[in-house]
Structure 1
Amino acid sequence: MRVRRYERGHSHVFYTLFLSTIALTSTAFLPAFRTADAQSTAGNRVSPEFREPVTLATKEGVLEVRLTARQGAATLDTSAKPVENFLLFDYELLRGTASDGKTNGRGLYPAPTLQVYPGEKLIVHLDNALTGLTIDDYFSPQYTKVGGEIPLYPIQMKSSPLNLHVHGVHVSPKGNADNVMVHIPAGMSNTYTYEIPRNMPQGAYWYHSHLHTLTGPQTYAGLAGLLSIGRTDGGLQLVTEKKIPVRNMLLQYNGVFDRANGGAVLNNVNWAQYVNTATPPKGDELAKGTYRPLLAPTNFTRSKPGTTYFTVWYAGPLSVRNDRGLLQTIPSNLQTFIPADPKTAKTIPAEPSLPDDKRDVQFTVNGQFEPTLKSKAGQTEIWVLANISDFAYINLQLTETVTGRHPKIAIVGEDGNPFPAVHYPVTDDGTRLLLPPASRAAIAVTMPEKGDLILEMP
């Protein structure tokens, strides 16, 4: 997954001057430039223009909004038609302002950004409309009837409970504040009131469902958004003084079965973890690593006759890592799988001929695949990267298209905490940043003098 940065131009400032900028000294200098329009394509596909989710902000110290969770379809720029089986938030703005001037929105992916400053109040009326669900791979073993046996092919949930969590914010967990033990049944509502402390650090946080055993599936399916406490860059003084642009980039992934041939249904790529085995292990098969399970694939009924399914089951002996039973669920069109024992299974090759925008699993930025962001050559910006996915660990790298160079990633804030000095990742001499699930990082970047800058998510 790549985000393309564009604009060509000329500048009298060299890259070394950017080092003084990211060191947050008073000598930073950001000149103006002439630019030339550029267009990004992936094959015959034109990349969408970068956009950010709508921002709902406070008015007179209060932001009051109604969020309604429901099953819906999301518009993805790599699918010819809306992709079904997302769980999305509708919103109604009751008190506050909206960046697009609208007071309501429906089926947003990602969810709207909520912005409140330290010392202000956030009120969220959460309506649970997760009824009449028709999602095959939406299930939690917790909701199996008492004494009931978990079936080979789990029965989908027709309705679902829900709650809300403001991730990383220093607020009370009691009552109707940030109480992740609240259980809101389908068809019911709850009002959350968050008093943001005056000493709360400015920065990027996020909100999502936190109902235990369903946190992952609900977050993955779209019930997540950015929560901005003040400014997402942390309110850095130099950013304010020099009017440095701040871009919010919400990183997610989605799996659409057979996307290349027109598939338009969201699938949970971790679904197989919930599927029972047809034949349980015998004796010490599991300990020896000789157990070969049979799994029921989620899309079995939609597969063509003769389709072969493979499972990649850990085939080694027991170890301190406790890897037995580990199931890898990355689709075969992304990676080649080599079995531990070639006598019992065969290698599954990748499909290198597939263009990135046709692969089943894709990473997106603000719901877009490889968007183009036009900027001035030599311009310094703050990119706020927020991994609001459930399981994905995202490797990030910057690449200059003309030189092939990978600039060091200058981190100026992390998880809502602005840094007094620039930090660099410890991997690959500071040129690669691993962003775990739920993590946020504010990085300072500068556009190259020639060519484009690409944010890659290998």
Structure 2
Amino acid sequence: MPAAEEQASGMVPGAALADPPDLNPAAPGDLTVELTAVQQEVMISGKKVMAETYNGSLVGPTLHVVPGQRVTLNLVNKLGTSTNLHFHGLHLSPEGNADNIFLSGKPGRTLTYQLDIPANQPPGTYWYHDHDMCPKSGQSMPGMTMPADPANGRCDGTESQIGAGLSGTIIVGDNRESLPPAYRGVTAHTLALKDAQLKDGSSIVYPDGVLEPASATVRLVNGQYQPTLTMAAGETQLWRIANEGYAIAYDLQLDGGSFTIVGQDGNPSAAPAQVNHLLLPPGGRFDVLVTAGAPGSTWLRTLAYSTGPTADNYPDTTLMKVDVQQGGGAGLAGMSASPQVAGPLPGALPDLSGEPVARSRSVELNDDGGNNFSINGKLFDMQPTFAEPATLGTVEEWTLTNTSGQNHPFHIHTAPFQVLSVNGVAQPPADYMDGVTVPHAVDGVAGKVVIRIRFTDFTGKWMFHCHITGHEDNGMMGYVNVSAAGGTG
């Protein structure tokens, strides 16, 4: 691949940040919306690029929902490949026409989803994306027998489709309402992080090539190249940050400033923390407060980051300029320390560390150094990973180990989990999330993360996988059957 600077040739940096388009306004009551998946040219900061889009946008339009709402979503497929949707982080049934990734819409067809947003769904930031399970035309996942290619199109997988552009943001409610009164009226921005790997300067490599996370790529914010966000001195804003790319991690730093975390992966913080950087694996989200200092400018950047000795090394890259204009603030030019907020915030989930554990399970993530990625030594094959189902209403403790030389971001559908420890280091109760980076092995010692999860409301196949989508597409995926008490799975 050409260098990132060469791929970005023709893009003009510095334009005012534009939030992603809205699919609908936030309003109560039943809602019907439509997403059209279509390949077309988009503009990236003045440069025409061929991509796959929802409703013509490289960053899909933001879906606004409120707790207790029924959403009918029609997915119109105008691609040359089958496609579907996953509603990442939402507590929805994994069966029927809800968050069921086994549904697949052929080219020219419309898939209709019925989403009953729970009354207790935490307000926060979520996202949607393709989750089709065919990695490339004419092939199936290793160990799997997939349906034949559609008669009038390809069958491409999750990596290809997210990498080409198929993802967007979901905002549940308005989590500013759960902040202290001083911050309930602050300006909120959505920052959707994606990258575009451009072949021949004019198209995302898929479907004309193979996406490769280790290759040079152009990092974008809301589909823009190095946009500018303007704040007034002393102003505090809420940034809803989502990693909506197919594979690449972000280690975010706001030069000269800090972030106050008020939500992670859609979950309100039990203990809001002020931090200097944010690590977002693929699929990760943070809701943070930021405060401008004295007039000046600074950068939001992703720091140099390695995913392990056998994996990828990402360079330090500037993402978004922050211009601070005259206002009532003081402190360092550009940014200052963001506010301290006391927790727990309304809707924060309870600490599971003292709960009785119904069952303990082990999940080992591994790869062969090539294109086979496994869980517990098995490539995904449509069979449950565990013989014993989980039981509704119970709490389980899972030990995730990583024996490979690269990090694997582990994601569970349907409900978030609490991280108890990482490589033996206890984590604070605030660490509720739906994806966690399981660190790579060091000197033959596997990386280890211990989590607890409560199974509530829905029976069926609760999926889990690595959220580096090429790993998922090539076998690192599984599921646990969840049954009602007394069920057999």
* TM-score, with length taken from structure 1: 0.56
Partners of 2:176 and 2:183 within 8 A in 1: no
Change (3 A) 1:241 1:370: closer
Say if 2:336 is the partner of 1:370: no
Aligned counterpart, 1:223: 166
Q: Which residue of 1 aligns with 2:472?
A: none
Please report how far the alpha carbon of residue 43 of structure 1 lies from its aligned counterpart in structure 2 after TM superposition: 12
Separation (CA, whole Å) in 1 of partners of 2:12 and 2:113:
43
- TM-superposed CA distance for 1:216, in Å, is 1.4
| One-letter amino acid matched to 1:54 | P
The 1:186/1:269 distance shift into structure 2, 3 A limit, reads closer
SS, match of residue 216 in structure 1? helix
Q: Equivalent residues in 2 for 1:419-438 (5 A)?
A: 419-424=269-274, 430-438=275-283
**Which amino acid in the other structure matches residue 436 of structure 1?**
P
User: How far 1:237 moved relative to its partner?
Assistant: 2.9
Per-residue deviation, 1:117? 0.5
**Structure 1 segment 22-37 matched on structure 2, within 5 A:** none
CA contact (8 A) 2:11 2:44 kept: no
Check if 1:124 corresponds to 2:45: no
Matched with 2:178 is 236
The 8 Å contact of residues 233 and 294 in structure 2, kept in 1 or not, is answered as yes
Q: CA deviation at 1:453?
A: 3.1
**Where do residues 32-431 of structure 1 align in structure 2 (5 Å cutoff)?**
45=12, 47-55=14-22, 56-77=24-45, 79=47, 82-84=48-50, 86-90=51-55, 107-130=56-79, 159-212=80-133, 213=135, 214-231=157-174, 233=175, 235-238=177-180, 242-258=184-200, 263-268=201-206, 271-272=209-210, 329-331=214-216, 361-399=217-255, 406-424=256-274, 430-431=275-276
Change (3 A) 1:269 1:185: closer
Question: For residue 433 of structure 1, what is the amino acid of its counterpart?
Answer: L
Paired residue type of 1:176: N
How many residue pairs match? The answer is 272
| Residues 314-351 of structure 1: per-residue CA shift (max 9 Å, x gap) | xxxxxxxxxxxxx87423xxxxxxxxxxxxxxxxxxxx
Cα pair distance change 1:409/1:183, threshold 3 Å:
same
Contact 1:269 1:330 in 2 (8 A): no
Aligned-partner Cα distance in 2 for 1:329–1:164: 26
Shift, 1:45, TM fit = 4.8
**Which residue identity is paired with 2:94?**
P
Hey, what's the Cα distance between the residues in 2 that align with 1:215 and 1:45? 30
Q: Report which of the two structures shows the higher radius of gyration computed on alpha carbons.
A: 1
Q: With the length of structure 2 as denominator, give the TM-score of the two structures.
A: 0.52
Relative to its length, the structure with more helix (as a share) is 1
Query: Partners of 1:45 and 1:53 in 2: how far apart?
Result: 18
Q: How far off is 1:122 after superposition? A: 1.3
Q: Structure 1 370/412 Cα, relative in aligned 2: closer, same or farther at 3 Å?
A: same
Please tell me whether the aligned partners of residues 65 and 125 of structure 1 are also in contact (alpha carbons under 8 angstroms): yes
Distance 2:273 2:71 in 1: 32
Displacement, 1:73? 1.0
Helix, strand or coil: the match of 1:75?
Answer: strand
CA distance in structure 2 between the aligned counterparts of 1:215 and 1:246, rounded to whole angstroms: 30
Residues 241/78 of structure 1: CA separation in 2 closer, same or farther (3 Å cut): closer
Write the distance in 2 (CA, Å) between the matches of 1:87 and 1:58.
Answer: 26
- Structure 2 distance, partners of 1:180, 1:254, is 25
Partner SS, residue 160 of structure 1: coil
Contact 1:393 1:435 in 2 (8 A): yes
Q: Distance in 1 between matches of 2:300 and 2:97?
A: 40
CA contact (8 A) 1:201 1:417 kept: yes
The whole-number CA distance in structure 2 between the counterparts of 1:63 and 1:238 is: 30
CA contact (8 A) 2:178 2:184 kept: no
Give 3-state SS (helix, strand or coil) of 2:132's partner. Answer: coil
- The change in CA–CA distance for 1:455 and 1:182 in structure 2 (over 3 A counts) is same
**Does the 8 Å contact 1:209/1:224 carry over to 2?**
yes
**Is the alpha carbon distance of 1:46 and 1:441 closer, same or farther for their aligned partners in structure 2, counting shifts above 3 Å?**
closer
Q: Alpha-carbon deviation of 1:60? A: 4.5
1:101-124 Cα offsets, whole Å, 9 max, x none, are xxxxxx112111000110011111
Distance 2:282 2:222 in 1: 16
> What code does the residue aligned with 1:408 have?
S
Change (3 A) 1:379 1:117: same
Query: Structure 1 residue 447: deviation in Å?
Result: 0.6
Q: CA deviation at 1:441?
A: 0.3
Q: Aligned Cα RMSD in Å?
A: 2.5
Letter in 1 for 2:32: E
Taking the aligned partners of 1:239 and 1:388, their CA distance within structure 2 comes to: 31
Residue segments in structure 1 that go unaligned for 5+ positions in a row: 1-41, 91-106, 131-158, 274-326, 332-360, 400-405, 425-429
User: Which one scores higher on RCO, CA 8 angstroms, separation ≥ 6?
Assistant: 1
Local SS of the residue matching 2:240: strand
- For residues 333-391 of structure 1, the C-alpha deviation after alignment (integer angstroms, 9 at most, x for no partner) is xxxxxxxxxxxxxxxxxxxxxxxxxxxx2111111111111111011111111000010
Q: Deviations over 1:233-268 (max 9, x none)?
A: 46423267641211111000001135xxxx212114
Letter aligned with residue 264 of structure 1: S
Distance 2:179 2:27 in 1: 24
2: CA distance between counterparts of 1:420 and 1:197? 20
- Does structure 2 retain, via aligned residues, the 8 Å contact 1:225–1:388? yes
Runs (4 or more) in structure 1 with deviation over 6 Å come to none
Instruction: Tell me the CA shift for residue 444 of structure 1.
Output: 1.4
What's the CA shift for 1:77?
0.8
